[in-house]
Each structure stands twice: as structure tokens, then as C-alpha cells.
Amino acid sequence: MKIALAQLNYHIGNFEANTKKITENIQLAKDKGADLVVFAELAICGYPPRDFLEFDEFIVLCETAAQEIAKHCTDIACIVGLPIKNEVLQGKDLFNAAYFIEEGKVKAVVKKSLLPTYDVFDEYRYFEPATQFNCIDFKGKKIALTICEDLWNINDNPLYVSNPMDELIKEQPDVMINIAASPFSYTHDDERIKVLADNAKKYNLPVFYVNQVGAQTEIIFDGGSLVFDADGTMKAEMKYFEEDLQVFDLEEVENVRNKYPQSERLTDVEQIHDALILGIKDYFRKSGFSKAVLGLSGGIDSAVVCALACRALGPENVMAVLMPSKFSSDHSVQDALDLVNNIGCMHEIVPIKEVAGAFDHILAPAFKGLPFNLAEENIQARIRGIINMAMSNKFGYILLNTSNKSECAVGYGTLYGDMCGAIGVIGDVYKMQVFELARYINKEREIIPINTIVKPPSAELRPDQKDSDSLPEYEILDKILYQHIEKKQGSKAIIAQGFDEALVLRILKMVNVAEFKRYQTPPILRVSPKAFGMGRRMPIVGKYMA
């Protein structure tokens, strides 16, 4: 039996485009001699559809699309994911399901059992878990078909009290197939490989796993579909961050030692780079926009975002706005211009000195002679935000936010100023990782000026300002933030690692106090195991200091 894995980029709710893509790949798989082609979890509607699932019409359109797909399944079978109605009154109204389609008809329906509700997942909000399990008979083989999380309950601290495969294995299947929508993080590929290999070894069966690829707002899917033999040896690893369709012979996977061609494993910084490119590209394409605008300060954050946007959209579609103030250094303006010249994007220079002066003048009576402080600094940042949004409104550009994760964590940013935008490009990338990205972007030639990379970071909102005036050095700050955010460590556990007690308490307080700001920021492209946004939900007025 020849099995094709179709790793595709879907668009949530775009039934016409998704159906066309699926049917085209059914034909492609057929042309390549496949007996069965496998598509991803909720492929018909795209993942995650969220509250679209609450509309009856949405579910009807999913079923209509499935019936259209079935017409193309002649001389080839397919497995495709979609939401379906729960005909039983008790319980949730829907199942997260998969259709097995053969000879133009739905021959079997498999429902997802383990419904994740952690991090970015919220499936139990919509779906009823399956309680009955049966294998699928096809071409003399028994297929144990599962959906994403159904294979993930295989570790030292299981989240669920049951495993679907423990039931399916009783029917003595010949192969496991798992369809998934498994979001990217730069640590997740290794976890995924281990989980699937452990399943292959535990049940002594080959595993065929297909994942989505593409970005859905902040969530990025990296593809990387996989095949394992019954010993848990990886036999194939499909492309990352790209659509891909490959055909595998089940007999070869079971009996031949040779491996199929595998993708080259990427380093963390390479994965983050490619994920952000895909995230920007899909945000614009799926939203119907093509041109971006951002404020370019001469600092490393905006430089990296500009470089990424130019790679994703083309430099001709990126507008960099330089907005020097009376505190901007000559080298910052020059660094920004050097980047523009190196990369070839559009640019405008809009000085803000006069505008800031006008604010000083009209606010002087109200400020009653009080000294210059954070208020005047934030006014400058908000002036820049207004100019960026004016460019967006006038020309139809989408504003890219350039705040990094370190700044987002401790609230080092101005609401309605440098924190505004439609999508946060590097809001899940710590400052030290931003430096790594800059060096990676420069690996073949200098795109980001070296001076941008080596100079001390500064917001340049007051004379001789440096980030280190307000924040700990980023090398230390990022390590403490990582322990607190990604590792979920409280202050005592972090201090026990050797970090200064006063510094840890100060940083964690800054994180908690800044929660109200993060509630008002744009969606952030997720590249880490724990990103700000829908995957990290904290109360604004909570007192717990962790």
C-alpha cells in the first residue's frame, strides 16, 4: 500500500480555496501512484477555527466541502479532517473528526478523543471527546487512525486517563496514521519526534504523521510530517515551513532499512527566522494585504523586523519611516539609512522635533513647570505611533510592531506608541535572540549595519539614554525571564539557581505589573513554547508575585 502525506497550508474558513487545494493534491497523489492520501486535522476548515464553530452554517459548509472532495476519490482513498455534528443531545454539539473516503463515499468516521485545553489550545470549548474506537480496513490492512493529541498521552506525567491506541491496538492494526495541527515552537520538533517514535515502539507499528504548514494569525504550523518504522526509527522527515507531498510504500517502511530523503534539521535561530518569514507572509496574504509599514529607528529590533518583512513581502512592499527627534543621534539616523540602502525598501523621513515641541507648549500650563520625565518620553513614542498609523491609513499599509519579548515582558514600551501595530513580529523573541537573528540575517552579506548590532540599545527618548538605565543587562534579564515565562518558575526557584534575590523580585514584579499593557498589544507571532497572547493567560489585578 502506498500512502501519500499531503502537508498543506490552509486558510481558516476559506472553503473554496481549501477544497481546491485538497482536490488538486488528491490528483497529484493519484498521479504519483498512491493508494491513500492523508490530509491534516480540520483541513477542510483550517485550524484553529475557534468560534466560527458556533455557526451552524460553518459546519454545513464543511460537510458540503467534504462531499465535493469525495467526488474526486476514485481509484484513490483519502483521509481528511473536519468538524462534524454530534447527533447525541448530551455533550458538546460537535466532534473533531476525520473522514475516510473511498470510491466517492465516506466509508468511516474517526473522532478525536483527547481534547487539549492548554496553552493555545481550547478544543473542549467546542468538541465532545470520542469514546468508541475502531480501525479502518483498507486494501487488506487495518489502519489505526488518530487525531493529533490522541498520540500525545505517552509520557511520565500524562494529562489524560486513557489512550485511544490502547483500544485500537486490540484490533491488531497494521499501521498507525495520525493527522495533526501541531503548532510550531523552536523546541517542538524534537518533542514531536520523540512522542511519535515512542508510540511506534510501544505499539510495535509504523507511524505515518501529517501536520499542517502555514500561519493562522499568531499560530505558525511548521509541517515537518514524519514516518517511523515499528522500531521507532525515523524513515522520513518532510519539509519544514513549506507545502510538501510525498508518497511512501508501507512495505518498504516496514521491511527496508533504507530511509526516504529527510529534511535538513534547522538550528533554533534558523527555525525562528523561517517561522517569522512564514508568519508575516501568511498574515498579509490571508488578510488580503500586500504592503507593510514600520518605524525604523536605527536600533536592532526595527532593523530585524524590516529585514524579515522585506524577505517575506519583497522590499518594494515595505515602507520604513524614520522619525528622528531632538534626542536621536546622528549614527542612529545613518544606521537606519544604511539599512534602507542595503535592503532596497521604501522609506520616508518624518522628523518629530516640531510636533514634540508643540506638545510641550500646549501642555506647559497643565504640567505647571514640573521637570521632564516619562510623560515627555511617552509623548514622543506616541507621536511616532500616530505617524505610522497615518501612513497606514493613507496608503493601506499594515503596521508591523517591532517590540521584542524582553520589552513586552517587563513593560518597556509605550501603549499607543511603539506598542501599536497589527501584528507583533518579534514579540516572542528575546533581545539576545534578536541579536542572533541579526547575525543570521547577515550570514551572506551585511544587511543590518554592524553598528546597529554592536551599539548599546537605546530608546533615544532623552539625552544619552540607554536601555540599561531602566533594565538589567539583557544577558541576565533574558535568562530570568525565560525561567519565569517558559519554565513557569517562581521567584524562590529562580533565586535558588544563583540569581540575585533583589533582581529576581524586581523583574518578576515588572512582568506582573505590565500585564495590562500586554492585553492591549497586537497578536504576536508565536515561536517559543510559551508566548504572550492566547497561550499565556494572567489576571491583570492579581497580587501573586510568583
CB atoms near residue 486 (< 10 Å): 16
Q: Which residues pair with 77 in a beta bridge?
A: 36
* In the block, residue with C-alpha cell 505589573: 513
CA distance 412 to 222: 30
Kindly name the residue from 73, 148, 306, 345 that is annotated as catalytic: 148
What DSSP string describes 9-35?
Answer: ---TT-HHHHHHHHHHHHHHHHHTT-S
296 is in an annotated binding site: yes
301 is in an annotated binding site: yes
* In the block, residue with C-alpha cell 534539521: 265
Question: Which amino acid type is present at position 475?
Answer: E
Kindly name the residue from 112, 235, 291, 431 that is annotated as catalytic: 112
298 is in an annotated binding site: yes
| Close Cβ partners of 208 (under 8 Å, ≥ 6 residues apart) | 3, 5, 38, 175, 176, 177, 178, 227, 248
Phi, psi (rounded to 5 degrees) for 454: -95, -20
290 is in an annotated binding site: no
CB atoms near residue 88 (< 10 Å): 9
C-alpha cell at 171: 484490533
- 154 vs 99, 163, 175, CA distance in Å? 25, 8, 18
42 is in an annotated binding site: no
300 is in an annotated binding site: yes
* Among candidate residues 403, 422, 423, the one with its CA nearest the CA of residue 413: 403
198 is in an annotated binding site: no
> Please, are residues 399 and 294 in contact by the beta-carbon 8 Å criterion?
yes
Kindly name the residue from 2, 21, 41, 235 that is annotated as catalytic: 41
239 is in an annotated binding site: no
Buried b (16+ CB within 10 A) or exposed e, 104-132: eebbbbbbbbbbbeebbbbbeebbbbbee
CA distance 257 to 141: 21
> Please, are residues 462 and 325 in contact by the beta-carbon 8 Å criterion?
no
CA distance 109 to 367: 69
* Residue 54 is among the residues annotated as catalytic for this protein: no
* Among candidate residues 119, 115, 107, 54, the one with its CA nearest the CA of residue 77: 107
| Close Cβ partners of 461 (under 8 Å, ≥ 6 residues apart) | 325, 327, 376, 377, 378, 380, 381
Q: Which residues pair with 138 in a beta bridge?
A: 141
* In the block, residue with C-alpha cell 523573541: 429
* Residue 446 is among the residues annotated as catalytic for this protein: no
* Residue 41 is among the residues annotated as catalytic for this protein: yes
Q: How many helices (H) and strands (E) in the chain?
A: 17, 19
182 is in an annotated binding site: yes
Burial class (CB in 10 A: 0-12, 13-18, 19+), 475: exposed
224 is in an annotated binding site: no
412 is in an annotated binding site: no
What is the radius of gyration, based on Cα positions, of the chain? 26
- 486 vs 21, 399, 478, 529, 531, CA distance in Å? 36, 28, 11, 6, 8
Burial class (CB in 10 A: 0-12, 13-18, 19+), 293: buried
C-alpha cell at 339: 539599512
- Would you name the residues annotated as active-site residues? 41, 112, 148
Instruction: List, as residue ranges, the binding site for deamido-NAD(+).
Output: 378, 407, 517
Instruction: List, as residue ranges, the binding site for ATP.
Output: 295-302, 402
Instruction: List, as residue ranges, the binding site.
Output: 118, 182, 295-302, 378, 402, 407, 517
Instruction: List, as residue ranges, the binding site for L-glutamine.
Output: 118, 182
